[in-house]
Chain A
Protein backbone atom coordinates (compact mmCIF):
# COMPACT_ATOMS: atom_id res chain seq x y z
CA UNK A 1 0.00 0.00 0.00
CA UNK A 2 2.78 2.41 0.95
CA UNK A 3 4.47 2.01 -2.47
CA UNK A 4 1.47 3.49 -4.33
CA UNK A 5 2.47 7.20 -4.08
CA UNK A 6 6.03 6.28 -5.13
CA UNK A 7 4.84 4.18 -8.08
CA UNK A 8 2.62 7.02 -9.29
CA UNK A 9 5.42 9.55 -8.85
CA UNK A 10 8.16 7.55 -10.58
CA UNK A 11 6.06 6.48 -13.56
CA UNK A 12 4.50 9.92 -14.02
CA UNK A 13 7.84 11.75 -13.80
CA UNK A 14 9.45 9.42 -16.35
CA UNK A 15 6.53 9.87 -18.75
CA UNK A 16 6.47 13.63 -18.22
CA UNK A 17 10.22 13.96 -18.81
CA UNK A 18 9.66 12.54 -22.29
CA UNK A 19 6.82 14.95 -23.06
CA UNK A 20 6.97 18.62 -24.02
CA UNK A 21 6.08 20.47 -20.84
CA UNK A 22 5.36 23.75 -22.61
CA UNK A 23 2.05 22.25 -23.76
CA UNK A 24 -0.79 22.91 -21.35
CA UNK A 25 -2.16 19.38 -21.28
CA UNK A 26 1.18 18.11 -20.01
CA UNK A 27 0.91 20.46 -17.02
CA UNK A 28 -2.58 19.11 -16.33
CA UNK A 29 -1.21 15.58 -16.52
CA UNK A 30 1.37 16.49 -13.87
CA UNK A 31 -1.44 17.85 -11.69
CA UNK A 32 -3.36 14.58 -12.14
CA UNK A 33 -0.27 12.63 -11.02
CA UNK A 34 0.22 14.82 -7.94
CA UNK A 35 -3.47 14.48 -7.07
CA UNK A 36 -3.06 10.71 -7.39
CA UNK A 37 -0.14 10.83 -4.94
CA UNK A 38 -2.25 13.02 -2.66
CA UNK A 39 -5.09 10.48 -2.74
CA UNK A 40 -2.63 7.66 -1.97
CA UNK A 41 -1.26 9.68 0.97
CA UNK A 42 -4.80 10.25 2.25
CA UNK A 43 -5.40 6.49 2.03
CA UNK A 44 -2.26 5.98 4.13
CA UNK A 45 -3.54 8.58 6.61
CA UNK A 46 -6.80 6.62 6.94
CA UNK A 47 -4.83 3.44 7.65
CA UNK A 48 -2.67 5.20 10.23
CA UNK A 49 -5.80 6.63 11.85
CA UNK A 50 -7.11 3.06 12.12
CA UNK A 51 -4.11 2.24 14.27
CA UNK A 52 -2.08 0.46 11.58
CA UNK A 53 1.50 1.29 10.66
CA UNK A 54 1.86 0.50 6.95
CA UNK A 55 5.47 -0.35 6.18
CA UNK A 56 7.53 -1.99 3.48
CA UNK A 57 11.11 -3.21 3.35
CA UNK A 58 12.55 -2.70 -0.09
CA UNK A 59 13.60 -5.72 -2.14
CA UNK A 60 12.03 -8.18 0.31
CA UNK A 61 15.09 -8.09 2.59
CA UNK A 62 14.69 -9.10 6.22
CA UNK A 63 14.24 -6.28 8.76
CA UNK A 64 17.44 -4.47 9.73
CA UNK A 65 19.07 -4.98 6.31
CA UNK A 66 16.75 -3.50 3.67
CA UNK A 67 15.63 0.12 3.48
CA UNK A 68 12.37 0.50 5.32
CA UNK A 69 9.51 2.75 4.32
CA UNK A 70 6.83 3.34 6.92
CA UNK A 71 3.87 5.63 7.40
CA UNK A 72 3.26 7.00 10.90
CA UNK A 73 1.42 10.07 12.17
CA UNK A 74 4.42 12.36 11.74
CA UNK A 75 5.03 11.18 8.17
CA UNK A 76 1.50 11.30 6.81
CA UNK A 77 0.75 14.39 8.91
CA UNK A 78 3.30 16.21 6.75
CA UNK A 79 2.79 14.32 3.46
CA UNK A 80 -0.93 14.97 3.07
CA UNK A 81 -0.97 18.77 3.55
CA UNK A 82 2.28 19.24 1.60
CA UNK A 83 1.04 17.30 -1.43
CA UNK A 84 -2.22 19.23 -1.19
CA UNK A 85 -0.35 22.55 -1.24
CA UNK A 86 1.76 21.50 -4.26
CA UNK A 87 -1.43 20.50 -6.08
CA UNK A 88 -3.02 23.87 -5.25
CA UNK A 89 0.03 25.83 -6.50
CA UNK A 90 0.17 23.82 -9.74
CA UNK A 91 -3.60 24.10 -10.26
CA UNK A 92 -3.47 27.90 -10.03
CA UNK A 93 -0.40 28.00 -12.27
CA UNK A 94 -2.10 25.77 -14.86
CA UNK A 95 -5.11 28.08 -14.95
CA UNK A 96 -2.69 30.91 -15.73
CA UNK A 97 -1.32 29.03 -18.72
CA UNK A 98 0.85 26.20 -17.42
CA UNK A 99 4.50 26.13 -16.42
CA UNK A 100 5.85 27.12 -19.86
CA UNK A 101 9.07 25.13 -19.43
CA UNK A 102 9.87 21.86 -21.13
CA UNK A 103 10.71 19.93 -17.98
CA UNK A 104 8.58 22.07 -15.59
CA UNK A 105 5.72 19.57 -15.06
CA UNK A 106 8.13 16.66 -14.55
CA UNK A 107 10.06 18.72 -11.96
CA UNK A 108 6.86 19.42 -10.02
CA UNK A 109 6.14 15.68 -9.83
CA UNK A 110 9.76 14.98 -8.80
CA UNK A 111 9.52 17.54 -5.97
CA UNK A 112 6.35 15.83 -4.76
CA UNK A 113 7.99 12.43 -5.05
CA UNK A 114 11.09 13.53 -3.15
CA UNK A 115 9.03 15.06 -0.35
CA UNK A 116 6.81 11.99 -0.07
CA UNK A 117 9.96 9.91 0.26
CA UNK A 118 11.42 12.24 2.90
CA UNK A 119 8.25 11.95 4.97
CA UNK A 120 7.76 8.19 4.61
CA UNK A 121 11.26 6.72 4.86
CA UNK A 122 12.61 5.23 8.07
CA UNK A 123 16.21 5.15 6.83
CA UNK A 124 18.50 8.09 7.54
CA UNK A 125 20.50 7.80 4.32
CA UNK A 126 17.38 7.23 2.23
CA UNK A 127 16.07 10.43 3.82
CA UNK A 128 19.14 12.18 2.39
CA UNK A 129 18.56 10.73 -1.09
CA UNK A 130 14.91 11.78 -1.24
CA UNK A 131 15.79 15.15 0.26
CA UNK A 132 18.32 15.70 -2.54
CA UNK A 133 15.77 14.57 -5.11
CA UNK A 134 13.35 17.27 -4.00
CA UNK A 135 16.08 19.89 -3.51
CA UNK A 136 17.60 19.18 -6.93
CA UNK A 137 14.22 19.60 -8.61
CA UNK A 138 13.69 22.77 -6.58
CA UNK A 139 17.05 24.18 -7.77
CA UNK A 140 15.97 23.60 -11.36
CA UNK A 141 12.51 25.07 -10.75
CA UNK A 142 14.11 28.16 -9.19
CA UNK A 143 16.41 28.56 -12.18
CA UNK A 144 13.47 28.18 -14.57
CA UNK A 145 11.31 30.48 -12.44
CA UNK A 146 13.60 33.48 -12.82
CA UNK A 147 13.75 35.87 -15.72
CA UNK A 148 16.83 37.42 -17.24
CA UNK A 149 19.34 38.68 -14.73
CA UNK A 150 17.43 37.35 -11.74
CA UNK A 151 18.82 33.91 -12.54
CA UNK A 152 21.76 34.74 -10.23
CA UNK A 153 19.60 33.91 -7.19
CA UNK A 154 19.41 30.30 -8.41
CA UNK A 155 23.16 30.00 -7.77
CA UNK A 156 22.80 31.56 -4.29
CA UNK A 157 20.01 29.14 -3.47
CA UNK A 158 21.85 26.15 -4.81
CA UNK A 159 25.23 26.79 -3.18
CA UNK A 160 23.85 27.55 0.29
CA UNK A 161 21.51 24.58 0.26
CA UNK A 162 24.19 22.26 -1.06
CA UNK A 163 26.28 23.22 1.94
CA UNK A 164 23.33 22.32 4.15
CA UNK A 165 23.03 18.96 2.40
CA UNK A 166 26.73 18.29 2.93
CA UNK A 167 26.37 18.99 6.67
CA UNK A 168 23.43 16.61 6.75
CA UNK A 169 25.37 13.90 4.92
CA UNK A 170 28.25 14.20 7.39
CA UNK A 171 25.74 13.87 10.23
CA UNK A 172 24.32 10.71 8.65
CA UNK A 173 27.84 9.30 8.44
CA UNK A 174 28.36 10.15 12.10
CA UNK A 175 25.10 8.48 13.12
CA UNK A 176 26.05 5.34 11.24
CA UNK A 177 29.51 5.30 12.74
CA UNK A 178 28.18 5.77 16.26
CA UNK A 179 25.35 3.23 16.10
CA UNK A 180 26.09 0.86 13.19
CA UNK A 181 22.60 1.32 11.80
CA UNK A 182 20.69 3.73 9.58
CA UNK A 183 17.18 2.67 10.56
CA UNK A 184 15.84 5.60 12.59
CA UNK A 185 14.12 3.67 15.42
CA UNK A 186 17.19 1.42 15.80
CA UNK A 187 19.51 4.45 15.82
CA UNK A 188 17.29 6.09 18.45
CA UNK A 189 17.33 2.96 20.59
CA UNK A 190 21.12 2.53 20.44
CA UNK A 191 21.73 6.23 21.13
CA UNK A 192 19.33 5.97 24.07
CA UNK A 193 21.43 3.20 25.62
CA UNK A 194 24.71 5.07 25.42
CA UNK A 195 24.20 8.79 24.80
CA UNK A 196 27.79 10.00 25.04
CA UNK A 197 30.30 11.64 22.73
CA UNK A 198 29.39 11.86 19.06
CA UNK A 199 25.61 12.44 19.43
CA UNK A 200 26.00 16.12 20.34
CA UNK A 201 28.35 16.79 17.40
CA UNK A 202 26.00 14.96 15.06
CA UNK A 203 23.02 16.80 16.53
CA UNK A 204 24.67 20.19 15.97
CA UNK A 205 25.36 19.29 12.33
CA UNK A 206 21.75 18.20 11.87
CA UNK A 207 20.52 21.37 13.55
CA UNK A 208 22.68 23.56 11.31
CA UNK A 209 21.51 21.70 8.18
CA UNK A 210 17.81 22.05 9.00
CA UNK A 211 18.11 25.64 10.19
CA UNK A 212 19.74 26.44 6.85
CA UNK A 213 16.78 24.86 5.01
CA UNK A 214 14.31 26.77 7.16
CA UNK A 215 16.24 30.04 6.85
CA UNK A 216 16.55 30.65 10.60
CA UNK A 217 18.50 33.65 11.88
CA UNK A 218 22.22 32.97 11.53
CA UNK A 219 21.51 31.17 8.23
CA UNK A 220 18.72 33.43 6.96
CA UNK A 221 20.80 35.51 4.52
CA UNK A 222 19.93 33.44 1.42
CA UNK A 223 16.15 33.63 1.88
CA UNK A 224 15.18 37.23 0.91
CA UNK A 225 16.90 37.45 -2.51
CA UNK A 226 15.75 33.95 -3.50
CA UNK A 227 12.12 34.33 -2.42
CA UNK A 228 11.73 37.85 -3.80
CA UNK A 229 13.42 37.40 -7.18
CA UNK A 230 11.84 34.13 -8.30
CA UNK A 231 8.43 34.06 -9.92
CA UNK A 232 5.42 33.62 -7.63
CA UNK A 233 4.77 29.88 -8.08
CA UNK A 234 8.43 29.03 -7.48
CA UNK A 235 8.55 31.27 -4.40
CA UNK A 236 5.30 29.70 -3.13
CA UNK A 237 6.84 26.26 -3.62
CA UNK A 238 10.02 27.18 -1.73
CA UNK A 239 8.35 29.00 1.16
CA UNK A 240 5.21 26.90 1.46
CA UNK A 241 6.49 23.43 0.65
CA UNK A 242 10.24 22.92 0.77
CA UNK A 243 10.77 24.72 4.07
CA UNK A 244 8.82 21.79 5.55
CA UNK A 245 11.87 19.57 5.07
CA UNK A 246 13.45 21.66 7.82
CA UNK A 247 10.56 21.51 10.26
CA UNK A 248 9.95 17.82 9.57
CA UNK A 249 13.64 17.02 9.92
CA UNK A 250 13.82 18.84 13.25
CA UNK A 251 10.77 16.97 14.55
CA UNK A 252 11.94 13.60 13.23
CA UNK A 253 15.61 13.76 14.14
CA UNK A 254 15.19 15.94 17.21
CA UNK A 255 12.00 14.42 18.58
CA UNK A 256 12.36 10.78 17.60
CA UNK A 257 16.02 9.94 16.92
CA UNK A 258 17.93 12.20 19.33
CA UNK A 259 15.54 13.33 22.10
CA UNK A 260 18.42 13.69 24.58
CA UNK A 261 20.28 16.06 22.28
CA UNK A 262 17.10 18.08 21.73
CA UNK A 263 16.64 18.29 25.47
CA UNK A 264 20.24 19.48 25.87
CA UNK A 265 19.79 22.11 23.15
CA UNK A 266 16.49 23.52 24.38
CA UNK A 267 17.92 26.82 25.55
CA UNK A 268 19.78 27.32 22.29
CA UNK A 269 16.64 26.65 20.22
CA UNK A 270 14.61 29.11 22.30
CA UNK A 271 17.23 31.86 21.96
CA UNK A 272 17.77 31.34 18.20
CA UNK A 273 14.00 31.12 17.61
CA UNK A 274 13.26 34.26 19.60
CA UNK A 275 16.09 36.16 17.86
CA UNK A 276 14.79 35.01 14.46
CA UNK A 277 11.28 36.26 15.25
CA UNK A 278 12.60 39.68 16.25
CA UNK A 279 15.10 40.13 13.42
CA UNK A 280 12.79 38.78 10.71
CA UNK A 281 9.90 40.98 11.84
CA UNK A 282 11.98 44.16 12.13
CA UNK A 283 13.53 43.63 8.69
CA UNK A 284 10.08 42.90 7.23
CA UNK A 285 8.80 46.23 8.57
CA UNK A 286 11.71 48.10 7.00
CA UNK A 287 11.12 46.70 3.48
CA UNK A 288 9.00 48.13 0.68
CA UNK A 289 8.44 45.52 -2.06
CA UNK A 290 5.73 43.02 -1.11
CA UNK A 291 7.81 40.00 -2.09
CA UNK A 292 10.61 41.10 0.25
CA UNK A 293 8.21 41.71 3.12
CA UNK A 294 6.86 38.19 2.60
CA UNK A 295 10.37 36.74 2.47
CA UNK A 296 11.41 38.32 5.79
CA UNK A 297 8.06 37.34 7.21
CA UNK A 298 8.75 33.68 6.37
CA UNK A 299 12.02 33.94 8.27
CA UNK A 300 10.23 35.36 11.30
CA UNK A 301 7.41 32.79 11.12
CA UNK A 302 9.83 29.88 10.99
CA UNK A 303 11.32 31.23 14.22
CA UNK A 304 8.06 30.30 15.96
CA UNK A 305 8.50 26.65 14.91
CA UNK A 306 11.91 26.66 16.55
CA UNK A 307 10.52 28.23 19.72
CA UNK A 308 7.81 25.54 19.87
CA UNK A 309 10.47 22.83 19.52
CA UNK A 310 12.53 24.50 22.22
CA UNK A 311 9.59 24.41 24.60
CA UNK A 312 9.34 20.71 23.79
CA UNK A 313 7.15 18.16 25.48
CA UNK A 314 3.70 17.17 24.30
CA UNK A 315 2.32 20.69 23.87
CA UNK A 316 5.53 21.98 22.24
CA UNK A 317 5.78 19.26 19.58
CA UNK A 318 2.06 19.57 18.77
CA UNK A 319 2.47 23.35 18.45
CA UNK A 320 5.53 22.96 16.21
CA UNK A 321 3.56 20.73 13.82
CA UNK A 322 0.46 22.92 13.80
CA UNK A 323 2.53 26.05 13.30
CA UNK A 324 4.55 24.51 10.46
CA UNK A 325 1.37 23.54 8.60
CA UNK A 326 -0.38 26.85 9.26
CA UNK A 327 2.68 28.73 8.05
CA UNK A 328 3.03 26.60 4.89
CA UNK A 329 -0.58 27.11 3.86
CA UNK A 330 -0.39 30.84 4.68
CA UNK A 331 2.87 31.42 2.79
CA UNK A 332 1.75 29.42 -0.27
CA UNK A 333 -1.43 31.50 -0.35
CA UNK A 334 0.38 34.84 0.11
CA UNK A 335 3.08 34.21 -2.51
CA UNK A 336 0.60 33.00 -5.16
CA UNK A 337 -1.69 35.95 -4.41
CA UNK A 338 1.14 38.46 -4.58
CA UNK A 339 2.04 37.17 -8.06
CA UNK A 340 -1.46 37.63 -9.46
CA UNK A 341 -3.31 40.78 -10.48
CA UNK A 342 -6.95 41.85 -10.43
CA UNK A 343 -10.10 41.78 -8.27
CA UNK A 344 -10.90 39.07 -5.70
CA UNK A 345 -7.27 38.95 -4.66
CA UNK A 346 -7.49 41.60 -1.95
CA UNK A 347 -9.69 39.30 0.12
CA UNK A 348 -7.39 36.32 -0.42
CA UNK A 349 -4.33 38.35 0.58
CA UNK A 350 -6.18 39.64 3.64
CA UNK A 351 -6.88 36.06 4.74
CA UNK A 352 -3.17 35.27 4.40
CA UNK A 353 -2.18 38.48 6.19
CA UNK A 354 -4.57 37.80 9.08
CA UNK A 355 -3.19 34.28 9.27
CA UNK A 356 0.37 35.58 9.55
CA UNK A 357 -0.63 38.08 12.22
CA UNK A 358 -2.56 35.37 14.07
CA UNK A 359 -5.98 37.03 13.99
CA UNK A 360 -9.11 34.85 14.26
CA UNK A 361 -10.85 33.35 12.33
CA UNK A 362 -7.85 32.88 10.03
CA UNK A 363 -5.76 29.74 10.29
CA UNK A 364 -2.80 31.49 11.93
CA UNK A 365 -4.82 32.09 15.09
CA UNK A 366 -4.82 28.33 15.73
CA UNK A 367 -1.05 28.18 15.35
CA UNK A 368 -0.51 31.09 17.72
CA UNK A 369 -2.97 29.60 20.21
CA UNK A 370 -1.18 26.24 20.21
CA UNK A 371 2.12 28.03 20.72
CA UNK A 372 0.67 30.13 23.50
CA UNK A 373 -0.59 27.07 25.31
CA UNK A 374 2.77 25.37 24.92
CA UNK A 375 4.62 28.42 26.27
CA UNK A 376 2.20 28.72 29.17
CA UNK A 377 2.39 25.03 30.10
CA UNK A 378 6.15 25.11 29.67
CA UNK A 379 6.17 27.92 32.25
CA UNK A 380 8.02 30.39 30.03
CA UNK A 381 6.14 33.67 30.67
CA UNK A 382 8.73 35.78 28.78
CA UNK A 383 7.98 33.71 25.69
CA UNK A 384 4.29 34.51 25.88
CA UNK A 385 5.16 38.21 25.86
CA UNK A 386 7.65 37.66 23.02
CA UNK A 387 5.04 35.84 20.91
CA UNK A 388 2.51 38.64 21.44
CA UNK A 389 5.15 41.17 20.43
CA UNK A 390 5.98 39.16 17.31
CA UNK A 391 2.30 38.98 16.40
CA UNK A 392 1.95 42.77 16.74
CA UNK A 393 4.97 43.33 14.47
CA UNK A 394 3.49 40.81 12.01
CA UNK A 395 0.23 42.77 12.02
CA UNK A 396 2.18 45.92 11.22
CA UNK A 397 4.24 44.56 8.32
CA UNK A 398 1.41 42.54 6.79
CA UNK A 399 -0.78 45.64 6.86
CA UNK A 400 2.01 47.57 5.14
CA UNK A 401 2.23 44.86 2.50
CA UNK A 402 -1.53 44.89 2.02
CA UNK A 403 -1.57 48.66 1.68
CA UNK A 404 1.35 48.58 -0.73
CA UNK A 405 -0.15 45.86 -2.88
CA UNK A 406 -3.88 46.66 -2.93
CA UNK A 407 -4.52 50.26 -1.91
CA UNK A 408 -2.17 52.02 -4.23
CA UNK A 409 -3.83 52.80 -7.55
CA UNK A 410 -2.05 51.28 -10.50
CA UNK A 411 -2.88 50.20 -14.01
CA UNK A 412 -2.01 46.64 -14.64
CA UNK A 413 -3.25 43.75 -16.67
CA UNK A 414 -5.55 41.47 -14.73
CA UNK A 415 -4.78 37.77 -14.47
CA UNK A 416 -7.16 35.16 -15.85
CA UNK A 417 -10.45 35.19 -13.87
CA UNK A 418 -10.31 31.41 -13.37
CA UNK A 419 -6.94 31.72 -11.59
CA UNK A 420 -8.29 34.46 -9.36
CA UNK A 421 -11.33 32.35 -8.46
CA UNK A 422 -9.01 29.44 -7.68
CA UNK A 423 -6.92 31.64 -5.36
CA UNK A 424 -10.12 32.83 -3.65
CA UNK A 425 -11.09 29.17 -3.17
CA UNK A 426 -7.63 28.44 -1.71
CA UNK A 427 -8.20 31.30 0.74
CA UNK A 428 -11.62 29.87 1.63
CA UNK A 429 -10.03 26.51 2.42
CA UNK A 430 -7.49 28.27 4.66
CA UNK A 431 -10.35 30.08 6.42
CA UNK A 432 -12.34 26.86 6.77
CA UNK A 433 -9.34 25.18 8.42
CA UNK A 434 -9.14 28.14 10.78
CA UNK A 435 -12.81 27.78 11.72
CA UNK A 436 -12.61 23.98 12.04
CA UNK A 437 -9.03 23.23 13.06
CA UNK A 438 -9.79 19.82 14.54
CA UNK A 439 -7.94 17.81 11.82
CA UNK A 440 -4.74 19.84 12.29
CA UNK A 441 -4.91 19.91 16.10
CA UNK A 442 -5.79 16.21 16.25
CA UNK A 443 -2.85 15.28 14.04
CA UNK A 444 -0.59 17.52 16.13
CA UNK A 445 -1.69 15.74 19.31
CA UNK A 446 -1.10 12.33 17.70
CA UNK A 447 2.38 13.38 16.56
CA UNK A 448 3.18 14.65 20.04
CA UNK A 449 2.15 11.35 21.64
CA UNK A 450 4.15 9.48 18.99
CA UNK A 451 7.28 11.46 19.88
CA UNK A 452 6.82 11.78 23.63
CA UNK A 453 5.30 8.34 24.12
CA UNK A 454 2.18 7.28 25.94
CA UNK A 455 -1.48 7.78 25.00
CA UNK A 456 -2.94 11.06 23.76
Chain B
Protein backbone atom coordinates (compact mmCIF):
# COMPACT_ATOMS: atom_id res chain seq x y z
CA UNK B 1 0.00 0.00 0.00
CA UNK B 2 2.89 2.35 0.79
CA UNK B 3 4.19 1.88 -2.74
CA UNK B 4 0.78 2.72 -4.15
CA UNK B 5 0.62 5.88 -2.06
CA UNK B 6 4.14 6.86 -3.05
CA UNK B 7 3.32 6.34 -6.73
CA UNK B 8 0.13 8.35 -6.34
CA UNK B 9 2.02 11.25 -4.74
CA UNK B 10 4.65 11.08 -7.46
CA UNK B 11 2.12 11.08 -10.30
CA UNK B 12 0.11 13.93 -8.77
CA UNK B 13 3.23 15.98 -8.18
CA UNK B 14 4.64 15.33 -11.62
CA UNK B 15 1.38 16.10 -13.38
CA UNK B 16 1.01 19.26 -11.27
CA UNK B 17 4.49 20.52 -12.16
CA UNK B 18 3.86 19.73 -15.82
CA UNK B 19 0.68 21.82 -15.73
CA UNK B 20 2.44 24.66 -13.90
CA UNK B 21 4.86 24.94 -16.81
CA UNK B 22 1.99 25.55 -19.23
CA UNK B 23 1.16 28.89 -20.88
CA UNK B 24 -2.47 28.88 -19.87
CA UNK B 25 -3.03 30.44 -16.43
CA UNK B 26 -6.00 28.16 -15.72
CA UNK B 27 -3.78 25.13 -16.28
CA UNK B 28 -1.17 26.67 -14.00
CA UNK B 29 -3.86 27.05 -11.34
CA UNK B 30 -4.90 23.43 -11.86
CA UNK B 31 -1.23 22.48 -11.47
CA UNK B 32 -1.00 24.23 -8.11
CA UNK B 33 -4.10 22.34 -6.95
CA UNK B 34 -2.53 19.00 -7.94
CA UNK B 35 0.81 19.84 -6.35
CA UNK B 36 -0.84 21.02 -3.12
CA UNK B 37 -2.88 17.85 -2.90
CA UNK B 38 0.17 15.73 -3.63
CA UNK B 39 1.71 17.35 -0.54
CA UNK B 40 -1.46 16.62 1.46
CA UNK B 41 -1.35 12.99 0.43
CA UNK B 42 2.32 12.81 1.32
CA UNK B 43 1.53 14.27 4.73
CA UNK B 44 -1.20 11.67 5.13
CA UNK B 45 1.28 8.88 4.46
CA UNK B 46 3.92 10.38 6.77
CA UNK B 47 2.14 9.16 9.90
CA UNK B 48 4.18 7.09 12.30
CA UNK B 49 1.33 4.93 13.65
CA UNK B 50 1.09 2.78 10.53
CA UNK B 51 0.00 3.01 6.93
CA UNK B 52 -2.87 5.42 6.30
CA UNK B 53 -4.73 2.90 4.13
CA UNK B 54 -4.85 -0.90 4.28
CA UNK B 55 -3.44 -3.41 6.72
CA UNK B 56 -0.46 -2.66 8.90
CA UNK B 57 0.96 -3.71 12.24
CA UNK B 58 -0.73 -1.12 14.49
CA UNK B 59 -4.49 -1.36 14.93
CA UNK B 60 -5.14 2.35 14.45
CA UNK B 61 -3.67 4.88 12.04
CA UNK B 62 -1.91 8.00 13.26
CA UNK B 63 -4.58 10.62 14.15
CA UNK B 64 -2.12 13.51 14.18
CA UNK B 65 -1.41 13.43 10.44
CA UNK B 66 -5.14 13.38 9.76
CA UNK B 67 -5.56 16.56 11.80
CA UNK B 68 -2.63 18.10 9.91
CA UNK B 69 -4.08 17.14 6.53
CA UNK B 70 -7.47 18.52 7.50
CA UNK B 71 -5.82 21.85 8.31
CA UNK B 72 -3.75 21.96 5.15
CA UNK B 73 -6.75 20.93 3.01
CA UNK B 74 -8.63 23.97 4.30
CA UNK B 75 -5.64 26.16 3.51
CA UNK B 76 -5.36 24.63 0.03
CA UNK B 77 -9.05 25.27 -0.58
CA UNK B 78 -8.80 28.89 0.56
CA UNK B 79 -5.78 29.53 -1.61
CA UNK B 80 -7.38 27.89 -4.62
CA UNK B 81 -10.35 30.22 -4.43
CA UNK B 82 -8.05 33.22 -3.93
CA UNK B 83 -5.99 32.17 -6.96
CA UNK B 84 -9.10 31.86 -9.11
CA UNK B 85 -10.32 35.28 -8.02
CA UNK B 86 -6.94 36.71 -9.04
CA UNK B 87 -7.26 34.93 -12.40
CA UNK B 88 -10.69 36.51 -12.77
CA UNK B 89 -9.18 39.96 -12.17
CA UNK B 90 -6.47 39.21 -14.76
CA UNK B 91 -9.08 38.11 -17.28
CA UNK B 92 -11.03 41.32 -16.78
CA UNK B 93 -7.88 43.43 -17.22
CA UNK B 94 -6.40 41.57 -20.20
CA UNK B 95 -9.31 39.77 -21.85
CA UNK B 96 -7.24 36.57 -21.99
CA UNK B 97 -5.59 34.03 -19.71
CA UNK B 98 -2.84 33.02 -22.15
CA UNK B 99 0.45 34.11 -20.60
CA UNK B 100 1.99 34.37 -24.08
CA UNK B 101 -0.41 37.21 -24.86
CA UNK B 102 0.00 38.77 -21.43
CA UNK B 103 3.80 38.74 -21.29
CA UNK B 104 4.38 39.81 -24.87
CA UNK B 105 6.84 42.74 -24.76
CA UNK B 106 5.56 46.16 -25.81
Contact = CB atoms under 8 A, between A and B. Distances in A.
Interface string B34-54: 011011101100111000000
Interface in A160-210: 162-163, 166, 169-170, 172-174, 176-177, 180, 182
B75 A132 contact: yes
B48 A177 contact: yes
A219 to B, nearest CB: 14
Interface in B54-90: 64-65, 68, 71-72, 75, 78-79, 82-83, 85-87, 89-90
Given A169-B43, A170-B43, 17 more contacts: A132-B75, A136-B75, A139-B82, A151-B89, A152-B93, A152-B94, A155-B90, A158-B82, A159-B29, A159-B32, A166-B35, A166-B39, A169-B40, A170-B39, A176-B47, A176-B68, A177-B46
Contact of A129 (B25, B40, B75, B94): B75
B1 to A, nearest CB: 16
B102 interface: yes
A231 to B, nearest CB: 15
Contacts of A143: 85-86, 89
A405 B90 CA distance: 30
A21 to B, nearest CB: 17
Given A158-B82, A159-B28, A176 B90 contact: no
Contact of A166 (B36, B78, B87): B36
Contact of A155 (B39, B79, B86): B86
A174 B48 CA distance: 11
A159 B82 CA distance: 11
Nearest to B75: A132
Contacts of A176: 46-48, 64-65, 68
A173 B28 contact: no
Interface of A: 125, 128-129, 132, 136, 139-140, 143, 148-149, 151-152, 154-155, 158-159, 162-163, 166, 169-170, 172-174, 176-177, 180, 182
B10 to A, nearest CB: 12
Nearest to A148: B93
At the interface, is chain A mostly helix, strand, loop or mixed?
helix
A182 B28 CA distance: 32
With most chain B CB atoms within 10 A of its CB, the pick from A125, A128, A132, A152 is: A152
A288 to B, nearest CB: 15
B86 A139 contact: yes
A151 B64 CA distance: 39
Nearest to A169: B39
Contacts, number: 87
A155 B28 CA distance: 10
Contacts of B102: 152
Contacts of A132: 75, 79
Given A129-B71, A173-B39, A180-B48, A159 B83 contact: yes
Given A163-B35, A177-B46, A154 B86 contact: yes
Given A152-B102, A162-B36, A177-B48, A136 B78 contact: yes
Contact of B32 (A129, A152, A163): A163
B46 A174 contact: yes
Contacts of B75: 129, 132, 136
Contacts of A139: 79, 82, 86
Interface string B13-27: 000000010000100
Contacts of A174: 46
A401 B65 CA distance: 50
- Which of A128, A148, A155, A180 has the most C-beta atoms of chain B within 10 angstroms of its own C-beta? A155
A28 to B, nearest CB: 27
Contacts of B25: 155
A136 B39 contact: no
A154 B71 CA distance: 24
Closest 8 interchain pairs by CB?
A173-B46, A177-B46, A173-B43, A166-B39, A169-B39, A180-B48, A149-B93, A151-B89
Nearest to A168: B39
B93 A151 contact: yes
Nearest to A176: B46
A310 B82 CA distance: 37
A170 to B, nearest CB: 5
B94 A149 contact: yes
Contacts of A149: 93-94
Contact of B86 (A148, A151, A170): A151
A143 B84 CA distance: 12
